[in-house]
Copies of this chain bind each other. A is one copy, B any other.
Amino acid sequence: MRLPAGFVASGVRSGVRKSRPDLALIVCEKGATAAALFTRNRFPAAPVVLSRAALRESGGRVQAAVINAGCANAITGRAGAAAARRVQRRAAELLHCPPERVFLASTGVIGVVLPDARIRMALPAAVARLSAGGLDAASHAILTTDVGPKVAAASFQAGGRRRRVVGFAKGAGMIHPDMATMLAFVLTDAAAAPGYLKAALRRAADETFHAISVDGDTSTNDTVLLLASGAADAADAAALEEGGPGSAEFEGALTRVCSELAWRIVRDGEGATRVMEVTIEGAASRRDAKLAAHAVATSPLVKTALHGGDPNWGRILAAVGRSGARVAPARARLAVNGLCLVEGGAPAAYRERDAARLFARERVPITVHLGAGTASARVLSSDLGHDYVSLNADYRS
Protein backbone atom coordinates (compact mmCIF):
# COMPACT_ATOMS: atom_id res chain seq x y z
CA MET A 1 0.00 0.00 0.00
CA ARG A 2 1.27 3.48 -0.86
CA LEU A 3 1.49 6.23 1.71
CA PRO A 4 -0.77 9.29 1.42
CA ALA A 5 0.68 12.06 -0.78
CA GLY A 6 3.42 14.07 0.90
CA PHE A 7 4.86 11.20 2.96
CA VAL A 8 7.79 8.82 2.52
CA ALA A 9 8.89 6.11 4.94
CA SER A 10 11.43 3.33 5.51
CA GLY A 11 12.31 0.53 7.89
CA VAL A 12 15.84 -0.74 8.56
CA ARG A 13 17.91 -2.80 10.98
CA SER A 14 19.87 -0.85 13.58
CA GLY A 15 20.99 -3.70 15.81
CA VAL A 16 18.93 -2.71 18.88
CA ARG A 17 17.00 -5.93 18.29
CA LYS A 18 18.86 -9.02 17.20
CA SER A 19 18.57 -9.78 13.49
CA ARG A 20 15.34 -8.04 12.58
CA PRO A 21 14.27 -4.57 11.44
CA ASP A 22 13.82 -2.27 14.42
CA LEU A 23 14.01 1.30 13.14
CA ALA A 24 11.24 3.07 11.21
CA LEU A 25 11.36 6.55 9.72
CA ILE A 26 8.44 8.65 8.47
CA VAL A 27 9.20 11.92 6.68
CA CYS A 28 7.01 14.73 5.39
CA GLU A 29 9.53 16.94 3.62
CA LYS A 30 7.37 20.06 3.60
CA GLY A 31 6.35 19.53 7.22
CA ALA A 32 3.01 18.19 8.41
CA THR A 33 0.45 19.49 10.85
CA ALA A 34 0.60 17.15 13.82
CA ALA A 35 -1.47 16.05 16.80
CA ALA A 36 -0.48 13.37 19.29
CA LEU A 37 -1.88 11.52 22.28
CA PHE A 38 0.54 10.15 24.86
CA THR A 39 0.40 7.66 27.70
CA ARG A 40 -0.95 8.95 31.00
CA ASN A 41 1.45 6.67 32.86
CA ARG A 42 3.26 8.63 35.60
CA PHE A 43 6.55 7.20 34.36
CA PRO A 44 6.48 8.54 30.78
CA ALA A 45 9.44 7.31 28.73
CA ALA A 46 12.17 9.69 27.53
CA PRO A 47 10.84 9.81 23.91
CA VAL A 48 7.35 10.68 25.23
CA VAL A 49 8.69 13.58 27.30
CA LEU A 50 10.87 14.76 24.40
CA SER A 51 8.16 14.52 21.72
CA ARG A 52 5.57 16.27 23.86
CA ALA A 53 7.99 19.19 24.34
CA ALA A 54 8.93 19.21 20.65
CA LEU A 55 5.29 19.47 19.54
CA ARG A 56 4.76 22.35 21.92
CA GLU A 57 7.87 24.15 20.69
CA SER A 58 7.13 23.63 17.00
CA GLY A 59 3.48 24.66 17.34
CA GLY A 60 2.30 21.25 16.15
CA ARG A 61 4.58 20.80 13.12
CA VAL A 62 6.42 17.56 12.39
CA GLN A 63 8.88 16.82 9.59
CA ALA A 64 10.08 13.39 10.71
CA ALA A 65 9.14 10.61 13.11
CA VAL A 66 11.86 8.21 14.27
CA ILE A 67 10.51 5.01 15.85
CA ASN A 68 12.53 2.19 17.33
CA ALA A 69 11.60 -1.23 18.71
CA GLY A 70 13.60 -3.30 21.20
CA CYS A 71 14.20 -0.61 23.80
CA ALA A 72 11.53 1.57 25.43
CA ASN A 73 14.05 4.01 26.96
CA ALA A 74 11.67 4.29 29.91
CA ILE A 75 12.67 4.84 33.55
CA THR A 76 16.19 5.60 32.42
CA GLY A 77 16.66 8.99 34.08
CA ARG A 78 18.97 11.66 32.63
CA ALA A 79 21.02 9.18 30.59
CA GLY A 80 17.87 8.10 28.74
CA ALA A 81 16.79 11.69 28.10
CA ALA A 82 20.24 12.56 26.71
CA ALA A 83 20.22 9.50 24.44
CA ALA A 84 16.83 10.50 23.02
CA ARG A 85 18.05 14.06 22.39
CA ARG A 86 21.09 12.76 20.48
CA VAL A 87 18.84 10.72 18.16
CA GLN A 88 16.59 13.74 17.62
CA ARG A 89 19.56 16.02 16.78
CA ARG A 90 21.13 13.50 14.39
CA ALA A 91 17.85 13.04 12.48
CA ALA A 92 17.41 16.82 12.29
CA GLU A 93 20.92 17.21 10.83
CA LEU A 94 20.35 14.53 8.20
CA LEU A 95 16.96 15.95 7.20
CA HIS A 96 17.96 19.63 7.47
CA CYS A 97 15.20 20.64 9.86
CA PRO A 98 15.00 22.07 13.39
CA PRO A 99 15.27 19.36 16.12
CA GLU A 100 11.84 20.23 17.50
CA ARG A 101 10.32 19.00 14.23
CA VAL A 102 11.63 15.48 14.85
CA PHE A 103 9.20 13.26 16.76
CA LEU A 104 10.45 10.15 18.62
CA ALA A 105 8.69 6.98 19.75
CA SER A 106 10.15 3.84 21.32
CA THR A 107 8.90 0.42 22.38
CA GLY A 108 10.57 -2.54 24.02
CA VAL A 109 12.35 -3.29 27.29
CA ILE A 110 11.90 -0.84 30.17
CA GLY A 111 14.87 0.28 32.27
CA VAL A 112 17.56 0.10 29.60
CA VAL A 113 19.02 3.33 28.21
CA LEU A 114 18.53 3.59 24.45
CA PRO A 115 21.70 2.42 22.66
CA ASP A 116 21.48 5.61 20.61
CA ALA A 117 24.82 5.17 18.83
CA ARG A 118 23.38 2.21 16.92
CA ILE A 119 20.33 4.20 15.93
CA ARG A 120 22.40 7.22 14.86
CA MET A 121 24.63 4.90 12.80
CA ALA A 122 21.58 3.42 11.07
CA LEU A 123 19.78 6.71 10.38
CA PRO A 124 21.62 7.52 7.09
CA ALA A 125 20.51 4.14 5.68
CA ALA A 126 16.95 4.83 6.82
CA VAL A 127 17.06 8.22 5.07
CA ALA A 128 18.50 6.69 1.90
CA ARG A 129 15.68 4.13 1.70
CA LEU A 130 12.80 6.60 2.17
CA SER A 131 10.09 6.07 -0.42
CA ALA A 132 6.34 6.44 -0.96
CA GLY A 133 6.21 2.63 -0.92
CA GLY A 134 8.02 2.37 2.41
CA LEU A 135 4.87 1.68 4.49
CA ASP A 136 5.44 -2.07 4.48
CA ALA A 137 9.02 -1.78 5.77
CA ALA A 138 8.08 0.85 8.37
CA SER A 139 5.08 -1.12 9.66
CA HIS A 140 7.31 -4.19 10.17
CA ALA A 141 10.13 -2.31 11.89
CA ILE A 142 7.99 -1.11 14.83
CA LEU A 143 6.77 -4.57 15.94
CA THR A 144 7.76 -6.46 19.10
CA THR A 145 5.74 -9.59 20.02
CA ASP A 146 3.05 -8.68 17.48
CA VAL A 147 1.81 -11.54 15.28
CA GLY A 148 2.23 -9.32 12.21
CA PRO A 149 2.02 -5.74 10.94
CA LYS A 150 -1.21 -3.79 11.42
CA VAL A 151 -2.13 -1.42 8.62
CA ALA A 152 -5.48 0.21 7.85
CA ALA A 153 -6.65 2.71 5.26
CA ALA A 154 -9.75 4.71 4.37
CA SER A 155 -10.53 7.58 2.05
CA PHE A 156 -12.97 10.44 2.01
CA GLN A 157 -14.22 13.09 -0.39
CA ALA A 158 -14.10 16.76 0.43
CA GLY A 159 -14.35 19.69 -1.93
CA GLY A 160 -14.63 17.28 -4.87
CA ARG A 161 -11.24 15.68 -4.17
CA ARG A 162 -10.45 12.25 -2.74
CA ARG A 163 -8.15 12.24 0.26
CA ARG A 164 -6.65 9.31 2.10
CA VAL A 165 -6.06 8.30 5.71
CA VAL A 166 -3.51 5.52 6.28
CA GLY A 167 -2.46 4.18 9.67
CA PHE A 168 -0.12 1.56 11.08
CA ALA A 169 0.33 0.35 14.60
CA LYS A 170 1.99 -2.04 16.99
CA GLY A 171 0.33 -3.62 19.99
CA ALA A 172 0.71 -6.98 21.72
CA GLY A 173 1.33 -6.37 25.47
CA MET A 174 0.44 -3.70 28.05
CA ILE A 175 -2.66 -2.79 26.08
CA HIS A 176 -5.19 -0.76 28.02
CA PRO A 177 -6.97 2.59 27.83
CA ASP A 178 -4.90 5.68 28.56
CA MET A 179 -3.12 3.84 26.67
CA ALA A 180 -0.87 0.77 26.11
CA THR A 181 2.47 -0.31 24.58
CA MET A 182 0.71 0.84 21.60
CA LEU A 183 2.28 2.96 18.93
CA ALA A 184 0.04 4.16 16.12
CA PHE A 185 0.85 6.49 13.27
CA VAL A 186 -1.97 7.87 11.17
CA LEU A 187 -1.19 9.92 8.06
CA THR A 188 -3.46 11.93 5.82
CA ASP A 189 -2.84 13.98 2.70
CA ALA A 190 -5.55 16.43 3.71
CA ALA A 191 -4.64 19.81 5.14
CA ALA A 192 -5.78 20.49 8.70
CA ALA A 193 -5.21 23.06 11.41
CA PRO A 194 -3.27 21.65 14.43
CA GLY A 195 -5.97 22.56 16.97
CA TYR A 196 -8.66 20.84 14.94
CA LEU A 197 -6.43 17.81 14.32
CA LYS A 198 -6.02 17.32 18.08
CA ALA A 199 -9.77 17.52 18.71
CA ALA A 200 -10.53 15.08 15.89
CA LEU A 201 -7.88 12.64 17.16
CA ARG A 202 -9.22 12.78 20.71
CA ARG A 203 -12.73 11.97 19.53
CA ALA A 204 -11.59 9.10 17.32
CA ALA A 205 -9.33 7.64 20.04
CA ASP A 206 -12.04 7.75 22.71
CA GLU A 207 -14.10 5.13 20.88
CA THR A 208 -11.18 3.10 19.57
CA PHE A 209 -7.71 3.12 21.15
CA HIS A 210 -9.13 4.08 24.55
CA ALA A 211 -11.70 1.27 24.43
CA ILE A 212 -9.40 -1.75 24.18
CA SER A 213 -7.62 -3.89 26.73
CA VAL A 214 -5.31 -6.87 26.50
CA ASP A 215 -3.96 -7.07 30.01
CA GLY A 216 -5.09 -4.02 31.94
CA ASP A 217 -1.63 -2.50 31.96
CA THR A 218 -0.83 0.85 30.40
CA SER A 219 2.71 1.26 29.19
CA THR A 220 5.19 4.05 29.68
CA ASN A 221 5.54 4.65 25.94
CA ASP A 222 2.10 4.75 24.32
CA THR A 223 1.83 7.21 21.51
CA VAL A 224 -0.65 7.95 18.74
CA LEU A 225 0.63 10.43 16.17
CA LEU A 226 -1.62 11.95 13.50
CA LEU A 227 0.08 13.84 10.66
CA ALA A 228 -1.64 15.87 7.93
CA SER A 229 0.56 16.73 4.94
CA GLY A 230 -1.96 18.76 2.98
CA ALA A 231 -0.28 17.42 -0.19
CA ALA A 232 -3.60 16.41 -1.77
CA ASP A 233 -4.81 19.99 -1.64
CA ALA A 234 -4.01 22.98 -3.79
CA ALA A 235 -1.64 25.37 -2.01
CA ASP A 236 -4.42 27.86 -1.39
CA ALA A 237 -7.06 25.31 -0.31
CA ALA A 238 -8.72 25.78 3.07
CA ALA A 239 -7.50 23.45 5.81
CA LEU A 240 -9.98 21.16 7.59
CA GLU A 241 -11.36 22.81 10.69
CA GLU A 242 -13.87 22.18 13.45
CA GLY A 243 -17.32 21.87 11.87
CA GLY A 244 -15.97 23.04 8.52
CA PRO A 245 -16.54 21.49 5.05
CA GLY A 246 -15.21 17.92 4.85
CA SER A 247 -14.57 17.60 8.58
CA ALA A 248 -17.33 15.05 9.16
CA GLU A 249 -16.05 12.97 6.23
CA PHE A 250 -12.47 13.22 7.51
CA GLU A 251 -13.44 12.15 11.02
CA GLY A 252 -15.44 9.24 9.64
CA ALA A 253 -12.38 7.99 7.75
CA LEU A 254 -10.09 8.66 10.73
CA THR A 255 -12.37 6.69 13.10
CA ARG A 256 -12.56 3.78 10.63
CA VAL A 257 -8.76 3.59 10.46
CA CYS A 258 -8.34 3.86 14.26
CA SER A 259 -11.11 1.33 14.81
CA GLU A 260 -9.52 -1.18 12.44
CA LEU A 261 -6.10 -0.74 14.08
CA ALA A 262 -7.64 -1.07 17.57
CA TRP A 263 -9.41 -4.31 16.61
CA ARG A 264 -6.19 -5.75 15.19
CA ILE A 265 -4.23 -4.80 18.30
CA VAL A 266 -6.67 -6.77 20.46
CA ARG A 267 -7.00 -9.66 18.01
CA ASP A 268 -3.20 -9.94 17.92
CA GLY A 269 -2.89 -9.39 21.70
CA GLU A 270 -0.30 -11.59 23.35
CA GLY A 271 -1.57 -15.15 23.16
CA ALA A 272 -5.05 -14.05 22.05
CA THR A 273 -7.33 -16.55 20.31
CA ARG A 274 -10.59 -14.59 20.45
CA VAL A 275 -11.96 -11.13 21.15
CA MET A 276 -14.88 -10.18 23.39
CA GLU A 277 -16.83 -7.04 22.70
CA VAL A 278 -18.21 -6.00 26.07
CA THR A 279 -21.15 -3.61 25.82
CA ILE A 280 -22.68 -2.22 28.99
CA GLU A 281 -26.17 -0.75 28.69
CA GLY A 282 -28.65 0.64 31.17
CA ALA A 283 -25.96 2.24 33.32
CA ALA A 284 -26.71 5.16 35.62
CA SER A 285 -23.88 7.18 34.03
CA ARG A 286 -21.25 6.95 31.30
CA ARG A 287 -18.63 6.59 34.06
CA ASP A 288 -20.51 3.63 35.56
CA ALA A 289 -20.81 2.04 32.12
CA LYS A 290 -17.05 2.35 31.55
CA LEU A 291 -16.26 1.02 35.05
CA ALA A 292 -18.40 -2.06 34.47
CA ALA A 293 -17.09 -2.65 30.93
CA HIS A 294 -13.46 -2.44 32.07
CA ALA A 295 -14.08 -4.71 35.05
CA VAL A 296 -15.39 -7.42 32.71
CA ALA A 297 -12.74 -6.77 30.04
CA THR A 298 -9.86 -7.11 32.51
CA SER A 299 -11.15 -9.90 34.75
CA PRO A 300 -8.71 -12.84 34.57
CA LEU A 301 -11.58 -15.18 35.45
CA VAL A 302 -13.68 -13.90 32.53
CA LYS A 303 -10.67 -13.94 30.18
CA THR A 304 -9.71 -17.52 31.05
CA ALA A 305 -13.34 -18.65 30.67
CA LEU A 306 -13.37 -16.96 27.25
CA HIS A 307 -10.18 -18.84 26.39
CA GLY A 308 -11.86 -22.11 27.36
CA GLY A 309 -14.96 -21.23 25.29
CA ASP A 310 -16.98 -21.49 28.51
CA PRO A 311 -20.16 -19.30 28.61
CA ASN A 312 -19.56 -18.64 32.32
CA TRP A 313 -21.84 -15.64 32.77
CA GLY A 314 -21.53 -15.87 36.56
CA ARG A 315 -17.98 -14.56 36.31
CA ILE A 316 -19.13 -11.74 34.01
CA LEU A 317 -21.82 -10.56 36.42
CA ALA A 318 -19.51 -11.02 39.42
CA ALA A 319 -17.05 -8.66 37.68
CA VAL A 320 -19.84 -6.16 36.96
CA GLY A 321 -20.96 -6.44 40.58
CA ARG A 322 -17.56 -5.53 42.00
CA SER A 323 -16.84 -2.77 39.48
CA GLY A 324 -18.39 -0.04 41.59
CA ALA A 325 -21.08 0.67 38.98
CA ARG A 326 -24.63 0.96 40.29
CA VAL A 327 -26.71 -2.11 39.45
CA ALA A 328 -30.36 -3.07 39.96
CA PRO A 329 -29.83 -6.86 40.31
CA ALA A 330 -33.51 -7.70 39.84
CA ARG A 331 -33.52 -5.89 36.47
CA ALA A 332 -30.11 -7.11 35.20
CA ARG A 333 -29.92 -8.79 31.77
CA LEU A 334 -27.06 -10.53 29.98
CA ALA A 335 -26.93 -11.66 26.36
CA VAL A 336 -24.26 -13.18 24.14
CA ASN A 337 -24.61 -12.33 20.49
CA GLY A 338 -28.34 -11.81 21.06
CA LEU A 339 -28.92 -15.03 23.05
CA CYS A 340 -30.34 -14.08 26.45
CA LEU A 341 -28.61 -15.94 29.32
CA VAL A 342 -29.80 -13.86 32.29
CA GLU A 343 -33.11 -12.03 32.59
CA GLY A 344 -34.40 -10.15 35.63
CA GLY A 345 -31.35 -11.12 37.68
CA ALA A 346 -31.88 -14.89 37.30
CA PRO A 347 -30.84 -17.52 34.74
CA ALA A 348 -32.92 -17.45 31.53
CA ALA A 349 -34.11 -20.56 29.70
CA TYR A 350 -31.40 -21.34 27.15
CA ARG A 351 -29.52 -24.37 25.94
CA GLU A 352 -25.95 -24.64 27.27
CA ARG A 353 -24.91 -25.96 23.85
CA ASP A 354 -26.13 -22.81 22.08
CA ALA A 355 -24.27 -20.57 24.52
CA ALA A 356 -21.08 -22.63 24.24
CA ARG A 357 -21.19 -22.39 20.43
CA LEU A 358 -21.32 -18.57 20.60
CA PHE A 359 -18.46 -18.48 23.11
CA ALA A 360 -16.22 -20.51 20.83
CA ARG A 361 -16.26 -17.96 17.99
CA GLU A 362 -13.48 -15.52 17.14
CA ARG A 363 -15.69 -12.56 18.05
CA VAL A 364 -17.83 -12.82 21.19
CA PRO A 365 -20.26 -9.91 21.69
CA ILE A 366 -21.41 -9.72 25.33
CA THR A 367 -24.10 -7.25 26.37
CA VAL A 368 -24.95 -6.57 30.00
CA HIS A 369 -27.89 -4.35 30.98
CA LEU A 370 -27.49 -2.92 34.49
CA GLY A 371 -31.11 -1.84 34.85
CA ALA A 372 -29.97 1.40 36.47
CA GLY A 373 -30.23 4.06 33.75
CA THR A 374 -29.61 4.75 30.08
CA ALA A 375 -25.83 5.22 29.66
CA SER A 376 -23.65 2.76 27.75
CA ALA A 377 -20.03 1.94 26.91
CA ARG A 378 -18.13 -0.63 24.88
CA VAL A 379 -14.69 -2.22 25.31
CA LEU A 380 -12.79 -4.83 23.27
CA SER A 381 -10.63 -7.35 25.08
CA SER A 382 -8.80 -10.58 24.33
CA ASP A 383 -8.81 -13.94 26.10
CA LEU A 384 -6.11 -15.16 28.48
CA GLY A 385 -4.53 -18.49 27.71
CA HIS A 386 -1.35 -20.48 28.02
CA ASP A 387 0.41 -18.53 25.27
CA TYR A 388 -0.04 -15.30 27.23
CA VAL A 389 1.62 -16.91 30.23
CA SER A 390 4.41 -18.39 28.13
CA LEU A 391 5.11 -15.07 26.39
CA ASN A 392 5.10 -13.07 29.62
CA ALA A 393 6.73 -15.42 32.08
CA ASP A 394 9.75 -15.56 29.78
CA TYR A 395 9.83 -12.45 27.58
CA ARG A 396 11.46 -9.43 29.19
CA SER A 397 9.46 -6.35 28.21
A positions within 8 Å CB-CB of B: 39-44, 72, 74-80, 109-112, 173-174, 176, 178, 215-220, 298-301, 304-305, 307-308, 310, 312-315, 317-322, 325-327, 329-330, 332, 342, 344-347, 384-386, 388-390, 392-394, 396-397
Residues of B within 8 A of A329 (CB): 42-43, 75
- Whether the Cβ atoms of B304 and A388 lie closer than 8 Å is yes
| Interchain residue pairs with CB less than 8 A apart (25) | A39-B322, A41-B322, A42-B325, A42-B327, A43-B318, A43-B320, A75-B345, A76-B347, A78-B346, A79-B346, A111-B313, A111-B347, A178-B322, A215-B300, A215-B301, A216-B298, A217-B301, A217-B318, A220-B317, A220-B321, A300-B388, A305-B392, A310-B396, A315-B397, A388-B389
Residues of B within 8 A of A345 (CB): 43, 75, 77
Residue among A39, A219, A342 with the highest chain B CB neighbour number at 10 A: A219
- Whether the Cβ atoms of A389 and B322 lie closer than 8 Å is no
* CA distance in complex: A167, B307 (Å): 36
* CA distance in complex: A265, B313 (Å): 25
CB-CB under 8 A for A109 and B41, given A173-B301, A174-B301, A346-B75: no
- Whether the Cβ atoms of B388 and A386 lie closer than 8 Å is no
Q: How far is the CB of A3 from chain B (nearest CB, A)?
A: 32
- Whether the Cβ atoms of B217 and A42 lie closer than 8 Å is no
Given B39, B44, B319, B393, which contacts A304 in the complex, CB threshold below 8 Å?
Answer: B393
- Whether the Cβ atoms of A77 and B300 lie closer than 8 Å is no
- Whether the Cβ atoms of A389 and B315 lie closer than 8 Å is no
Residues of B within 8 A of A300 (CB): 215-217, 300, 384, 388, 392
CB-CB under 8 A for A174 and B318, given A304-B393, A389-B384, A392-B301: yes
Residues of B within 8 A of A318 (CB): 41, 43, 74, 110, 174, 217-220
Who on chain B is nearest to A111 by CB? B314
Residues of B within 8 A of A396 (CB): 310, 312
Q: How far is the CB of A205 from chain B (nearest CB, A)?
A: 16
Apart from A216-B299, A312-B396: 15 A-B pairs, beta carbons within 8 A: A39-B322, A75-B346, A77-B330, A79-B346, A80-B346, A109-B314, A111-B313, A176-B322, A217-B301, A217-B319, A300-B388, A308-B394, A310-B396, A385-B389, A386-B389
Who on chain B is nearest to A393 by CB? B308
Who on chain B is nearest to A387 by CB? B389
Q: How far is the CB of A338 from chain B (nearest CB, A)?
A: 19
Q: How far is the CB of A357 from chain B (nearest CB, A)?
A: 17
Q: How far is the CB of A168 from chain B (nearest CB, A)?
A: 24
Residue among A112, A327, A330, A347 with the highest chain B CB neighbour number at 10 A: A347
- Whether the Cβ atoms of A42 and B393 lie closer than 8 Å is no
* CA distance in complex: A299, B392 (Å): 12
- Whether the Cβ atoms of A342 and B301 lie closer than 8 Å is no
* CA distance in complex: A78, B389 (Å): 40
Residues of B within 8 A of A218 (CB): 318, 321-322
Residues of B within 8 A of A330 (CB): 77
Residue among A112, A218, A392, A397 with the highest chain B CB neighbour number at 10 A: A392
* CA distance in complex: A216, B322 (Å): 10
Q: How far is the CB of A297 from chain B (nearest CB, A)?
A: 12
* CA distance in complex: A199, B181 (Å): 44
* CA distance in complex: A384, B312 (Å): 20
